[in-house]
Amino acid sequence: MAADRRVGVAVDFSPSSKNALKWAVDNIMRKGDYLILVAVQPEGHYEEGEMQLWAISGGSRTCSASLFLISVSLIPLSEFSDPATMKKYGVKPDPEILDIANTAAKQQEVMVVMKIYCGDPREKLCEAIDSIPLSCMVVGNRGLGTLKRAIMGSVSNYVVNNGSCPVTVVKHHGHD
């Protein structure tokens, strides 16, 4: 991977995505890289005031209506570290993930940003790979059993098989 690498990490603020972020920071981030946290919000309706972006867009109060505004820009670390700002996006980041991101930005001198998509995580993570574009993607694995994986599908498996860049799956050994 060349200079100006754009390393994507899928985050849903679960223990497995936190583990994936730690792994990426500890193992592949280098000075000058871009660490792009990719969050995918489910489609749906939100309470009044929860997603203030719709007032700007004039669209309906669904995640997909604001997708245009959300998906056109990368959110800087200073903004997604502020709970009031993130409430506008309908995202409630985990304090530990923010700490990992802030530490990486300072100690490893990487640029940290977030990109929020709305929809099916499998499809949107693959879309992020192409639209950002990412040099590589790191995703967590919740460790679903064979039956649950067959019924629910595996996001990490889908991204590995359909993503157009190298994808690393970081196994989560804890219990969610």
What is the domain partition of the chain in residue ranges?
6-171
The span from the CA of 105 to the CA of 32, in Å, is 10
Which residue has tokens 């993570």?
125
Give the global pTM.
0.80
Q: Is the pLDDT of residue 154 over 90?
A: no
Which whole number is the average pLDDT over 163-176? Answer: 82
Q: Which of 9-18, 21-30, 43-52, 70-79 is predicted least confidently?
A: 43-52
Confidence bin at 147 (pLDDT 50/70/90): low
Partners of 40 in the β-ladder: 117
Q: What is 6-171's CATH number? A: 3.40.50.620
> Could you tell me which residues come within 8 angstroms of residue 5 by beta carbon, excluding any fewer than 6 positions away?
30, 33, 34, 135, 136
Phi and psi at 23, nearest 5°, equal -60, -45
The pLDDT score that the predictor gives to residue 62 is 45
Three-class SS state of 64: helix
Better pLDDT: 142 or 62: 142
Check: CB of residue 51 under 8 Å from CB of residue 63.
Answer: yes
Averaged pLDDT of the chain: 79
Q: Which among 156, 80, 91 has a CA at the least distance from the CA of 114?
A: 80
The pLDDT score that the predictor gives to residue 174 is 59
The span from the CA of 8 to the CA of 129, in Å, is 8
Q: Is the pLDDT of residue 15 over 60?
A: yes
The span from the CA of 26 to the CA of 22, in Å, is 6
